Structure 1
């Protein structure tokens, strides 16, 4: 059972998150707070795995609150303000949900947090953290040291995930959700149930297709609106 803490000064927003959590049997809402000071008390009282955190709150905003936590849980920001996304990910946030977000988008964020909880990058046999800008990936008996800015996109391929870089194509035995948890947002964006793309390497967008160098990647209908919001477009 994954213990969750909800922090939002809007009662309706807390209610929506509580309802979403109840739909997933592995989530348990340990507490729901209206401000950061209440949340800090809850974190001192009990272990929390996932923190759903609003940004614009009185007394202490969500970003400032996160900076006060020495060993924070996995943090999913829930906010109506997209301009704080970079600051959030600089603080190692797991995901950033823009209100109003769908239940499907909520599940994606929870899956990402769950993957980080169940398969910490620091101890997995196939992936080792190097620096914030690089990762080590084991593939076909070799360990590849890959710069994040050289990754073009990742594609689900059965029990493997194809990771296409500017130099190579690797297919390590890793689930797509594990790779998604490894690649930081907003540098990498989910655009399809089977594709993650590097924001920096997007050449152009045409209809429901993204072109990255010679690669053509589909945009899934369920991911289209969120993707266009992430890149600052209206779709």
Structure 2
């Protein structure tokens, strides 16, 4: 069981969260707190694995509350304000539920928490040092973008490639429809980890780990997706190939 608490200064929001938690068999509600200060007092006495926290609260907001925790549990923010999404991302929150959200959205976030909890709970051999991601490494695997009037959290490992279309970027993902967002290629390129992504054309950034093949100056994904390699990006991409090719180009 995942022991969790909820924090929200709105009584109706706490009632909704309590009802959702009771429907999930692997969640155990320790307490519904109406302020971050009450939660701090509880955490001093009770072990907790997961926190559902509102952000915009009096006295101590949700982001500052999470930053103050030494032993930080898994955190899922629940808020009505999209402008706080980036702040949530910076403190490595697992997910961000935008109010009003339904049970299906809550369950999706809860399942993410279960997966994270299982990863953290794996028993490691005493002789094997525990390798943990640094905050910077965790940030490099996730990204928030604005699309469909909300902030969407993307797992970078699921991105196949990105295509510029005038002032918009179309992001192609595994096992789901592409997402369109208003963004420049330059800004996107600056935020992506260079070890995983490379700009290969003025209109394309690709996930290097997802490449199926390279032929005729084009990158191939799957059976029928072809990405052109621009002349000004060719040398850099060839350097990448040389490092990973068993032979000579």
TM superposition score category, shorter chain reference: 0.5 to 0.7
Q: Which moved more, 1:114-123 or 1:45-54?
A: 114-123
RMSD: 3.5
Once the two structures are superposed, residues 39-83 of structure 1 have per-residue CA deviations (whole angstroms, 9 ceiling, x without a partner) of 111111211111000011111111111111111210100000111
Question: What is residue 177 of structure 1 aligned with on the other side?
Answer: none
Note if 1:202 corresponds to 2:162.
yes
Quickly say closer, same or farther: Cα 1:23–1:81, change in 2 above 3 A.
Answer: same
Quickly say closer, same or farther: Cα 1:53–1:202, change in 2 above 3 A.
Answer: same
**Equivalents in 1 of 2:79, 2:67: separation in Å?**
17
**Equivalents in 2 of 1:62, 1:134: separation in Å?**
23
Structure 2 unaligned spans of 5+: 146-152, 183-249
Q: TM-score, normalised by structure 1?
A: 0.60
Q: Alignment partner of 2:19: what SS?
A: helix
Quickly say closer, same or farther: Cα 1:9–1:134, change in 2 above 3 A.
Answer: closer
Q: TM-score, normalised by structure 2?
A: 0.57
**Equivalents in 1 of 2:40, 2:17: separation in Å?**
19
Whether the 8 Å contact between 2:159 and 2:174 is mirrored in structure 1 is no
Whether the 8 Å contact between 2:2 and 2:49 is mirrored in structure 1 is yes
Question: What is residue 30 of structure 1 aligned with on the other side?
Answer: 30
Whether the 8 Å contact between 1:88 and 1:96 is mirrored in structure 2 is yes
Count of residues in correspondence between the two structures: 167
Q: Between Structure 1 and Structure 2, whose CA radius of gyration is higher?
A: 2
**Equivalents in 2 of 1:53, 1:39: separation in Å?**
10
Whether the 8 Å contact between 2:18 and 2:29 is mirrored in structure 1 is yes
Question: What is residue 40 of structure 2 aligned with on the other side?
Answer: 40
1:162-181 paired onto structure 2 within 5 Å: none
Whether the 8 Å contact between 1:21 and 1:27 is mirrored in structure 2 is yes
Question: What is residue 96 of structure 1 aligned with on the other side?
Answer: 96
Note if 1:18 corresponds to 2:15.
no
